[in-house]
Structure 1
Amino acid sequence: MTGVRSLEWLILTRHGESTANVAYAAAHDGLEEIDVPERDADVPLSPAGQKQAAALGRRLAGLPPDERPTAVLASPYTRALETARIALAELPDTPVLQIDERLRDRELGVLDRLTPAGVRARFPAEAARLARLGKFYHRPPGGESWADMALRLRSAYRDLDLDHPGGRVLVVAHDAVVVLTRYIVENRTEQEIMEIEKTPIVNCSISRWRRRGGRLAPVEYNDPSHLPDPLIMAEED
C-alpha cells in the first residue's frame, strides 16, 4: 500500500445513525430535496445513533489489549465526533481524540441535500455528466469526485504512517471514507471499488486491516455483529 506501511492495525468505522440518515430513509419517491436544517458539518446523531456508538465502544473495549486502538482520528463533522466521544467513553484506556479535516465526508457542492430525483429535475446536465463519467470521476460544481477524496485520504494515511509507526489507529468518519480506504489499502480498481460501494456501510460497523508481510491486509469489513439491531442506511450521509 502507498502511504500506510508501519501501522500495525488500521480500524475504521462509519459514524452512528444521524438525523440526516433518518430523513433520507423516510424520503418518498419523487421528493427532490431532503429537509435537513443544519449544514452538513453540523448534522448530529439520532438517539439510535448514540446507542450504536456506545455499542461500538463496547466492541472496541472487548478486543484483546494488543488490538485496541492506541490513537483515534475523527472527521470534524459533528456526527463523527459524537460517535468517537461516545465510543471512547467505553474504553478502559482512552486514547486522545484527534481531528483531521481530510477525513470529512464527500463535498457534494450544488447537489447537497438533493435526492436522485432532485438532481435530475434541477440539474439535468449534471445528471447526464454523472451518467457519462460514472460516480468515481464525476465532480459536481462546488463539490468533489470520489477520486478527489482518495487524494486527500492518501495524504492523511501517509501522515498516520509517520505519526503512529507500529500503532493501532481508529478512524471515525463516513461511508465513503470506509469504501475508499479499501481502494487505497487494497490497491483496488475503479470498477472493483464501485462494485464494493453498492453494499451500504452500516452505521458504526467495524472494518479492520492488520500489517502482514510489510503491508496492511484485510481482517474484516463492514461488520455490524456488535450492534443490537444494525440498520443499513442509504448512502447519503
Structure 2
Amino acid sequence: MTTFYFIRHGLTQNNIERRFNGGTVDTPLVAEGIDETNRMATELAATTFDQAYSSPQMRAQTTAQIILSQNHAAPTIQIDERLRELKLGDWDGKVIDEVKNHPEAYNYFHQPDKFNSEKIHAESYEQLINRGKDFISEINQKNQNQQILVVTHGLFLMTVFSNLKQDPLSQLRKSPIVPNSSLTILKTDGEKAEFVTWGKTF
C-alpha cells in the first residue's frame, strides 16, 4: 500500500476575502495560514517522506516548503501540473457573492453533474477528476509501499476524494471541503482506497 499525505495549502488572502481561488489566481499565505502550517510541520517533523509533490501554484509550494522545513529527512519538492486547482475561468479571483446570480452558479454549487464549465471558460469537474486520478495512479505505481507528501488545493481534494469513494458527481457537494492547512491520509494499492485520516488540523 502506498500512503499519500494530502495537505490543503494554508489560508490565503483570497480565502479570507471569499474570492474564487482557482487554478489561474494566487495570493500569498496570511499570518494565520503560516502559523497553522507551522503547527502541522511540527507534527510531521519525524515522518519519513519518500517523495514530495506540490501544485505549481505558490500558495501550495509555500505550504510544502514550510512543512518540509522542519522535516528531519525532507525530500526535494517536485512540481506537478496535475495538482493545480480547478481553473475557474471568468470567475477566478472574483468575490463569490458577485456571481451568485450567474446561470451556472447554482449548478456549480448544488448540481455539479450539470455544471457547464464552458459557459465561464473554466475547466470541468470531470477534467479535474481525470488529472487527479492520473497523478495518484502514476505515483502509486512508481512508489509502492512508500510515503508520499502531496500539497494541493481544497476543491481538487474534495473532487478527487469524492470520486475515490465512488460517490456520483451529483453528490460532490454533500461533504464539506477540507480545511486549509489540513491533513488527509490515503492508503491505496491502486484498486482499494482507504482514508486513514480526514481533514485533520493542528
TM-score range, shorter chain: 0.7 to 0.9
Question: 1:126 and 2:120 equivalent?
Answer: no
2:198 aligns to what? 221
What residue is the counterpart of 2:141 in the other structure?
Answer: 162
1:47-78, CA deviations, whole angstroms, 9 ceiling, x for partnerless residues? Answer: 11111221121121244xxxx32111110001
What's the % identity of the aligned pairs? 22
What SS is found at the alignment partner of 1:156? helix
Superposition TM-score, scaled by structure 2 size: 0.85
Q: Is the 8 A contact 2:49 2:73 kept in 1?
A: no
Tell me: CA distance 1:141–1:213, structure 2 relative to 1, closer, same or farther (3 Å).
closer
- Alpha-carbon spacing, 1:211–1:102, altered in 2? closer, same or farther (3 Å): closer
Number of paired residues?
199
Whether contact under 8 Å (2:2, 2:140) holds in the other structure is: no
RMSD after superposition: 2.7
Q: Are the structure 2 counterparts of residues 78 and 136 from structure 1 closer, same or farther at C-alpha, using a change threshold of 3 Å? A: farther
What letter matches 2:90 in structure 1? V
In the TM superposition, what are the counterparts of 1:1-237 in structure 2 within 5 Å? 7-24=1-18, 40-63=24-47, 68-121=48-101, 124-127=102-105, 130=107, 134-138=111-115, 139=117, 140-196=119-175, 199-211=176-188, 215-224=192-201, 226=202
Where 1:217 maps in the other structure, the secondary structure is strand
Q: Rate the CA distance shift 1:218–1:120 in 2: closer, same or farther, 3 A.
A: closer
The question of whether the paired residues in 2 share the 8 Å contact of 1:210 and 1:217 is answered with yes
C-alpha contact (below 8 Å) 1:103/1:153 kept by paired residues: yes
Cα distance in 2 between the residues matched to 1:41 and 1:73: 20
Superposed displacement of residue 162, structure 1: 2.7
Q: Cα offset for 1:22? A: 1.8
Deviation at 1:190, TM superposition (A): 2.1
The runs of 4+ residues in structure 1 deviating greater than 6 Å are none
Where structure 1 has 5 or more consecutive residues not aligned to the other structure, the ranges are 1-6, 25-33, 227-237
CA–CA separation in structure 2 for the residues paired with 1:61 and 1:209: 19
Q: Which TM-score applies when normalising by structure 1? A: 0.74
* 1:101 Cα deviation after fit: 0.8
Q: Distance in 2 between matches of 1:41 and 1:18?
A: 11
Q: Is the 8 A contact 1:14 1:174 kept in 2?
A: yes
Query: Residues 199-228 of structure 1: CA distance to partner in whole angstroms, max 9, x if unpaired?
Result: 23211111012247962311111111x2xx
Whole-angstrom distance in 1 between the partners of 2:160 and 2:49: 17
Amino acid at match of 1:134: Q
